[in-house]
Homo-oligomer: A and B are copies of this chain.
Amino acid sequence: MRDPVHSAAVMDYYPFQIHRPGAYTLSSGGHPSLLPPLIPRVAPQVERLAGQVAADGRAALRGLQRTEEVLDEEPTVTLDSQSLWSEFHKRGTEMVITRSGRRMFPPFKVRVRGLDESAKYILLMDIVAVDDYRYKFHNSRWMVAGKADPEMPKRMYIHPDSPSKGEQWMRKPVAFHKLKLTNNILDKHGFTILNSMHKYQPRFHIVKANDIMKLPYSTFRTYVFSETEFIAVTAYQNEKITQLKIDNNPFAKGFRETGNGRREKRNKQSAVPGSADQEGADSDEACENPSTSNHHHSPLESLSSPLTLPPPCQEEDGESDSDMEPPDEDFAETRSSRADRDCTQDSEEMLCNMYAETEPSKKMLTFRTLRDYHMVAADAFKTNNKYRDYVMAQRQNLSTFSGGHLQTLDFSLSQNFPKHLQAPGLFQPGQSAAMPGAEAHLSTSENVTVPLWRFALISIPLHADTSCQHPSSSHLFFKLSSGQEPPSLQPSALATLQPLPDPHLYPPEAKASFSQSFNEFELIFWRVKIREQTFGSSV
């Protein structure tokens, strides 16, 4: 049995090129590769060793050569408690999401090296959808259960110590335990909103910037540790995951076995209704000492995971995946085998190749600017009913700009902004009457009364960290130029925003228009009706 190889694959991000074949090649193969579906458009450039001080099996990669020098002073990031993460990953990590917000376990914590000691950095984390599937746990297996539900806008969590000097970041592991997961689309804490039964990938970002306001203009170095991938759940599905959590999370100590035997309650749960299939495989030994199992892993298999490579079957039950296959404790093995068989989609296939030829554990993307970053990250920024609810939830604390001294912003570069951000469909002109409180579904093939609006831009910090009492946990209000439609903002516009004297000046009848997510702020446009105008569309 062989440990998975964990080293960093450092890649440059070229937002407007899918492939850059020939320019930079991997020493062991030379194929350009793709990252998973929702982390697309990545071309490999350079690759370096990650855990130079790590003592695990990654030394096997030392012989790899590079055709290109690494970028100057490329920071090195290693995942803390990697072995624990791998334990979970082998079984298919689950993270509970609750209405009130839940921490991740294992905690997402990284060690950073190679920073400029005296330069200031902002460290961030976010969580993005891995694929476009919805999953279900059936017969002790994760299976695809249809197309993904629309994603809520994902918040970029800024580590509360940001900005700090490289020296300080490198002094001790950087923990993100204050990032909380929720399924509450009305959340007002700034938690990360996830869809239950969907697959996600945490990411870590390093930005060399001495001020949070400079984030939009800065280069993002993004690190992905594939063993931190997980499926969000409202209740644990895989009993082995539950056991791992209980055994390792200090807060769950109360559920550990009493005395020498097994805990009563946990055994009881495993005898719960459902299709009590193959409970024999769930022996104490297998669960308690997974590393002593006799399964053999091929190098490729050990590099894959049940979460990394979803099966192509999107039907509820219509796949040949044998229900009789024993519910192996090492889920990753069987899943990756299936992937080898069934992986037909391009990106997944290329991903398999990349995994076979390089190191899957850590991938780094470097974004030249926030704009580039959004080219990749904005996939989660979709227009849907949930999103509308989300926007309206934000409204509870807000009112809207009633007039006064308006200010013009520079939108000259807004065409460079991703389409998702420029005009979420919900708030397109013809649908402006479909605001909450109005009709839920308004066809565009009718006469439409379109109000004319003035717009106020309201900025909500993306992470409201009250435990550290950071003043930025409240809302900021900005005034924005008037216009008929909320314009698309680009990062440079942030610099020209001016705070309003008193947010309470906004009248309650103001309505949220649409929203954009920047690194620091969730920008929400509010509009105040000036007058109405009727357009005859088709009727």
Contact = CB atoms under 8 A, between A and B. Distances in A.
A169 B472 CA distance: 9
Interface in A160-212: 160-161, 164-165, 167-169, 171-172, 175
Nearest to A210: B211
Given A167-B499, A499-B167, A471 B161 contact: yes
B468 A160 contact: yes
B471 A167 contact: yes
A499 B118 contact: yes
Contacts of A257: none
B469 A160 contact: yes
Contacts of A345: none
Given A171-B474, A499-B167, A468 B161 contact: yes
A169 B474 CA distance: 11
Given A117-B499, A167-B499, 15 more contacts: A161-B468, A161-B470, A161-B471, A164-B470, A164-B471, A164-B472, A167-B471, A168-B471, A168-B474, A169-B471, A171-B471, A172-B471, A172-B474, A175-B469, A468-B468
A474 B469 CA distance: 22
Contacts of A117: 499
A167 B161 CA distance: 20
Nearest to A474: B171
Contacts of A169: 471
Interface string A456-498: 0000000000001111101000000000000000000000000
Nearest to A465: B468
Contact of A472 (B168, B470, B472, B499): B168
A169 B499 CA distance: 15
A45 B172 CA distance: 48
Interface of A: 117-118, 160-161, 164-165, 167-169, 171-172, 175, 468-472, 474, 499
A453 to B, nearest CB: 27
Contacts of A160: 468-469
Contacts of A472: 164, 168
Nearest to A117: B499
26 contacts: A117-B499, A118-B499, A160-B468, A160-B469, A161-B468, A161-B469, A161-B470, A161-B471, A164-B470, A164-B471, A164-B472, A165-B471, A167-B471, A167-B499, A168-B470, A168-B471, A168-B472, A168-B474, A169-B471, A171-B471, A171-B474, A172-B469, A172-B471, A172-B474, A175-B469, A468-B468
Nearest to A177: B469
A504 to B, nearest CB: 13
Contacts of A471: 161, 164-165, 167-169, 171-172
Contacts of A168: 470-472, 474
A468 B468 CA distance: 6
Contacts of A165: 471
A209 to B, nearest CB: 14
A471 B468 CA distance: 14
A405 B160 CA distance: 35
A167 B476 CA distance: 10
10 smallest A-B Cβ distances: which pairs? A168-B471, A468-B468, A164-B471, A171-B471, A171-B474, A161-B470, A161-B471, A168-B472, A161-B469, A169-B471
A115 to B, nearest CB: 11
A190 to B, nearest CB: 15
Nearest to A172: B471
Contacts of A164: 470-472
A169 B469 CA distance: 10
A171 B171 CA distance: 33
A457 to B, nearest CB: 17
A56 to B, nearest CB: 25
Contacts of A468: 160-161, 468
A213 B169 CA distance: 18
Nearest to A173: B469
A382 to B, nearest CB: 32
Nearest to A159: B469
A120 to B, nearest CB: 10
A472 B120 CA distance: 13
A175 to B, nearest CB: 7
Contacts of A118: 499
A115 B325 CA distance: 68
Contacts of A469: 160-161, 172, 175
A468 to B, nearest CB: 5
A163 to B, nearest CB: 10
A498 to B, nearest CB: 9
A5 B472 CA distance: 34
